[in-house]
C-alpha cells in the first residue's frame, strides 16, 4: 500500500517569499497520523501544488523559472530534513503555467526507482484561455512488482474562477480542464497510440488546489453579512463548521445527481478544519471583512477500484485532511492530506504480466469525458495572449517602479515628450532650410 501526501497553498502572488523557511508543519505531518497506521512510515509520493505562485504579470510573461526552481530546492530540503528516518526523495516532475504549479516527489528507495512514462501538461481557463486560471498535471506509471504493467498516477493542481456569484464559471473551468488538460495514451498500450487522453484515463486521480467554491448562506442565516469578528467567534467549534458545510457550493454540486462537475471524485471531511479563506494578512485566526469564510482550498481523489454506484465511498483511506493556520503571509491557509492507497488486487490488470494497459477509473454510464479536438489551439491561444499581455504589463510595471498606473502615466508622458521633441526637430529643420 502506498502512502500519498498532497499539499496545496495559494501563496498570494508573493514569489520566492510565499512560503516560510520552516515547512515542517505543512509538509511533514506523518507523525500526526501514526496512530492510524500499524507503524510509522514516510510518504511514498508527495505532491505539492501552488496557486498565485508569483506576481501575475511575471507569471503571464513566463518568468517563473527562478521561483519554481527555488521552491523545488527548498521543499526537497525540508522534506528530507524532516522525514521520519531521513529518507531521500527525488523530484519526479514539475510543471508551471502562469501562477499554477505542481511538484511531485517520490522516495528514492521506492517509487522513484521505478516510475516511468512521466508526462506533464497544462491548460489555461482564464479569458481567452489565459493562465490566470487553469490547471497543470503530472502523470506517470509505476510498474507492478510482479513484472506487470502496473498502475498510472495522475496529479492535477487547479485554480478556478473566484467569487461566490461565479459558480457557473467555476464549473465551466472544470469542464474545460477535463477536455484540454490532455496526456498521451498510457504506455505501453499499442491500441490507440498517439491519441490524447483526459485526466480520467488513469488508475489513481488526485485533484488539489484553490477550487474557489464558496460558502453561500441564505439571507436569514445569522452569519449573512456578519462582521469578521462575529464570524470568527461563531466558527470556533467543529459542530459549527459541520453545520456550515451544508452551504458549501462544491459539496452541493457533488451531491447534485444532474451535475457533471468532479464526477467520480471523493473528498475527506473538509469541515473538520476551519475555512481556509479569507484571512487577514499576518493573522493566524482573523478572517477578512471582505469575504464570507469558505473552504476554497480542496483535495479530491479516486482510484480504479472505487465503484461508480457508491460515489461517497472510496477504497482510499483518508488518514489526514487539515489546514495549517500558522502560515500568515497569504489570505489563504495551506492544506494537506495523507491518503493510504489500497493494495493492488492480484486479479487486476495492474499485476497481470500479460496485460498491456494499466487499470483505469470506473465512471458512471452517463459520463464519458472526451478530449476537446481544439484543445491545442485553445492552449496556445492562451499562451500567446499570456506573453503579449504579461510582457506589456511587466514593462509598464518596470517603468512605474512597481506600479502599473505610474508606468502608464510615465509611458504616456514619455510619448508626449518624444512627440514634442521630434516635432521641434522637424520645425527647426524646416526654418533652417527656408533661411538658406
Examine the pLDDT at 1 and tell me if it is beyond 70: yes
pLDDT band for position 403 (50/70/90)? low
- 358 φ/ψ angles, rounded to the nearest 5 degrees: -70, 160
* Strands ordered across the beta sheet of 45-51: 89-97, 100-107, 45-51, 3-10, 335-340, 317-323
pLDDT band for position 240 (50/70/90)? confident
Higher pLDDT, 125 or 82: 125
Cα angle for residues 104, 133, 218 (degrees, 5° grid)? 110
- pLDDT for 35 equals 45
- pLDDT for 432 equals 47
Examine the pLDDT at 232 and tell me if it is beyond 80: no
3-374, what's its fold?
Answer: Deoxyribonuclease I; Chain A (3.60.10)
> Residue 51: which of 122, 119, 132 has the closest Cα?
132
pLDDT digits (tens, 9 = 90+) for 54-107: 999 899 999 999 999 999 999 999 888 888 788 899 999 999 999 999 999 999
> What is the percent of the chain with per-residue pLDDT over 90, rounded to a whole number?
61
pLDDT digits (tens, 9 = 90+) for 26-56: 887 654 444 445 457 889 999 999 999 999 9
- pLDDT for 122 equals 98
Retrieve residue 13's grid coordinates. Answer: 502572488
pLDDT digits (tens, 9 = 90+) for 301-324: 999 999 999 999 999 999 999 999
CB–CB of 287/293 below 8 Å?
yes
CB–CB of 177/169 below 8 Å?
no
Class of residue 299 by CB neighbours under 10 A (exposed 0-12, middle 13-18, buried 19+): buried
> Residue 79: which of 43, 120, 116 has the closest Cα?
43
Amino acid at each position: 500500500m502506498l502512502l500519498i501526501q498532497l499539499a496545496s497553498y495559494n501563496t498570494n502572488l508573493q514569489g520566492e517569499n510565499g512560503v516560510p523557511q520552516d515547512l515542517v508543519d505543512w509538509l511533514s505531518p506523518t507523525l500526526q497520523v501514526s496512530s492510524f497506521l500499524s507503524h510509522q512510515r514516510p510518504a511514498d509520493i508527495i505532491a505539492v501544488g501552488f496557486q498565485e505562485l508569483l506576481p501575475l504579470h511575471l507569471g503571464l510573461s513566463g518568468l517563473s523559472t527562478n521561483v519554481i526552481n527555488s521552491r523545488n530546492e527548498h521543499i526537497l530540503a525540508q522534506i528530507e530534513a524532516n522525514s521520519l528516518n531521513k529518507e531521500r526523495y527525488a523530484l519526479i516532475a514539475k510543471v508551471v503555467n502562469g501562477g499554477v504549479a505542481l511538484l511531485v516527489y517520490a522516495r528514492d528507495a521506492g517509487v522513484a526507482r521505478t516510475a516511468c512514462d512521466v508526462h506533464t501538461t497544462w491548460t489555461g481557463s482564464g479569458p481567452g484561455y489565459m493562465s490566470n486560471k487553469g490547471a497543470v498535471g503530472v502523470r506517470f506509471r509505476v510498474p507492478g512488482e510482479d513484472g506487470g504493467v502496473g498502475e498510472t498516477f495522475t496529479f492535477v493542481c487547479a485554480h478556478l474562477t473566484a467569487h461566490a456569484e461565479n459558480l457557473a464559471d467555476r464549473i465551466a473551468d472544470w469542464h474545460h480542464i477535463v477536455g484540454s488538460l490532455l496526456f498521451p495514451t498510457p504506455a505501453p498500450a499499442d491500441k490507440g497510440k498517439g491519441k490524447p487522453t483526459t485526466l480520467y484515463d488513469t488508475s489513481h486521480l488526485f485533484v488539489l488546489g484553490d477550487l474557489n467554491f464558496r460558502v453561500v448562506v441564505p439571507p436569514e442565516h445569522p452569519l449573512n453579512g456578519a462582521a469578521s469578528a462575529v464570524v470568527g467567534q461563531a466558527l470556533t467549534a467543529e459542530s459549527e463548521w459541520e453545520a456550515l458545510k451544508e452551504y458549501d457550493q462544491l459539496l452541493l454540486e457533488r451531491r447534485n445527481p444532474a451535475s457533471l462537475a468532479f464526477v467520480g471524485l471523493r473528498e475527506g471531511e473538509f469541515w473538520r478544519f476551519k475555512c481556509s479563506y479569507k484571512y487577514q494578512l499576518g493573522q493566524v485566526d482573523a478572517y477578512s471583512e471582505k469575504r464570507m469564510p469558505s473552504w476554497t482550498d480542496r483535495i479530491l481523489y479516486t482510484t480504479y477500484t472505487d465503484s461508480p454506484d457508491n460515489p461517497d465511498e472510496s477504497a482510499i483511506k483518508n488518514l489526514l485532511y487539515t489546514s495549517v493556520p500558522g502560515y500568515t503571509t497569504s489570505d489563504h491557509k495551506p492544506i494537506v492530506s495523507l491518503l493510504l492507497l489500497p493494495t493492488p488486487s492480484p486479479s487486476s490488470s495492474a499485476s497481470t504480466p500479460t496485460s498491456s494497459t494499466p487499470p483505469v477509473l470506473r465512471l458512471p454510464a452517463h459520463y464519458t469525458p472526451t478530449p476537446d479536438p481544439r484543445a491545442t489551439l485553445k492552449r496556445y491561444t492562451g499562451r500567446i495572449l499570456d506573453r503579449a499581455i504579461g510582457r506589456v504589463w511587466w514593462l509598464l510595471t518596470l517603468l512605474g517602479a512597481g506600479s502599473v498606473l505610474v508606468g502608464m502615466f510615465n509611458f504616456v508622458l514619455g510619448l508626449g515628450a518624444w512627440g514634442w521633441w521630434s516635432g521641434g526637430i522637424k520645425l527647426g529643420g524646416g526654418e533652417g532650410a527656408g533661411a538658406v
